[in-house]
Amino acid sequence: MQVEIVQEIEIRQITAIDLLEEATSANSDAGQAIAYQLRYDGGQRGDMLWFADIRRAGIALGGNAIWTDASSPEDAIERVLSDNVTG
């Protein structure tokens, strides 16, 4: 599977409900969330929520989000695709 970041989006534009709930109720220790629209499998839409302050991301590709610690949004995608999630 190939996944790419399409663009940064506003939190309210997230389509994955569990990511949206996490973004709107996130603990202040997590810092400010950044939301990204993703594209995978020939045009399917996914979402990513990235917390830079704690280096953690949630990625939803057509289902519930998978969470991982990562050094960057790109690293988070790589970890989810290689099933090397931590945290």
- Which one is predicted more confidently, 77 or 86? 77
> Given a cut of 70, is residue 80 above it in pLDDT?
yes
Instruction: Tell me the domain boundaries of the chain.
Output: 3-81
State the pTM of this model. 0.89
Per residue, what are the HEC states of the chain? CCEEEEEEECHHHCCCHHHHHHHHHCCHHHCCEEEEEEEECCCEEEEEEEECCCCEEEEECCCCCEEEECCCHHHHHHHHHCCCCCC
Residue pLDDT, tens place only, 26-57:
655 677 899 999 999 889 999 999 999 999 99
Q: What mean pLDDT comes out for the span 71-76?
A: 96
> What is the rounded CA–CA span in Å between residue 75 and residue 15?
22
Q: What mean pLDDT comes out for the span 75-84?
A: 92
